[in-house]
Amino acid sequence: MNKLIKATNIITLSFLVTAAAQAADVTTNFTNGEVLTATKLNNLVTEINANDDAGIGDITAVTAGSGLTGGGASGSVTLSVGTGAITATHIGVNAVGQSEIATAGVSSAEVADNSLTAADLAANSVGQSEIATAGVASAEVADNSLTAADLAAGSVGTSEVADNSLTANDLAASSVGASEIATGAVGASEIATGAVGSSEVATNSMIATDMQNEAGIEYDTGSVGSGGVMTSGVLLDTLVMSIPSSGYVYCVAQIEANWPANTAAGAYVMGDWTTGTSLTGNSAYTNLTASHTSTTYTSFTIIKTFAVGAGTINFKLTAYTGTVGVAASSKERACMFFPTRY
């Protein structure tokens, strides 16, 4: 039976040759690199064969496959991993973990767009240093995914909030206080109709300069009159108002007619508010229904509303009578401005 004689059985070549000499035909022309085989009969070597490729196998060349470089058809050969030659097809699922990646070994160029999901990121693995300036846009942030705990104090300023991007639904109750609102940052366009009630305004927190086109009043309580006999239009008083904007002025006054003794029935006194030059009263009047033997007084009220624009306006209280000797006076009058008509 032929077999390859191992070193554990044959220690030296001279032993082999000595053993082979027992055979009838001996050939000892061996060379380095040959493999010796022996034929043994009854524990005696009868034949030794030399072959330069017996037992070597059938490999004739080593060829570099995908992702590798090197190889060859003879001699000592080396295989190496080519630079950039390893692609996703060469890597098994979950074959690469943190221990296989050098610090800073993966840059954005190695990560395909949209290839990472939340499941690929460890908790707290992405901090400020991992995010380029302006690297996260609204498209990368899921609705309602950020809470107050995700935002550092002072990390969101006006430059981070688009115009008109916040609505009442985006703000928690009582989340915005005076310290969060810049001076002059809230105007009428930022406040919904009916959104501010007395509970939203601190006591004594509003002054006249904080209110736009607020209502106002001008009045006078001193007694004024025609100075006795009145036979034509008389200016009793003038109230001057600085009107802040377009709106309405409501003027009211009480006129007292002074009827001398023996004034005939039918005598009258008219009164009016005017902003013009005419002093003839025609807004309201009173008349004497019967003659009197002594001095008599009759009161009546004059009310008038003006549509006005911004500016300084003189509101004139006038009176008029056609009866000689009749006088008129007023003890109280007022004009009020209102910016809104309901």
Range of the domain at 234: 216-338
* First CA to last CA distance, the chain: 123
d(CA 53, CA 34): 7
Q: Dihedral sign for Cα 187, 190, 193, 197, please.
A: negative
Instruction: Answer yes or no: is 245 within a domain.
Output: yes
Q: Tell me which residue of 244, 252, 229 sits closest to 308, measured CA to CA.
A: 244
Instruction: Answer yes or no: is 127 within a domain.
Output: no
Whether this prediction's pTM lies above 0.75 is answered by no
Instruction: Answer yes or no: is 99 within a domain.
Output: no
Instruction: Answer yes or no: is 19 within a domain.
Output: yes
Ranges of beta strands (E only) in 222-289 are: 224-225, 234-243, 247-259, 268-274, 284-287
Instruction: Answer yes or no: is 56 within a domain.
Output: no
Instruction: Answer yes or no: is 221 within a domain.
Output: yes
Instruction: Answer yes or no: is 150 within a domain.
Output: no
Instruction: Answer yes or no: is 40 within a domain.
Output: yes
Q: How many domains does the chain have?
A: 2
- What is the structure's pLDDT at 49? 65
Q: pLDDT under 50 in the chain at which residues? A: 1-13, 15, 19-27, 54
Burial class (CB in 10 A: 0-12, 13-18, 19+), 49: middle
The CATH number for 284's domain is 2.60.120
Q: Tell me which residue of 310, 313, 309, 317 sits closest to 334, measured CA to CA.
A: 317
d(CA 68, CA 79): 6
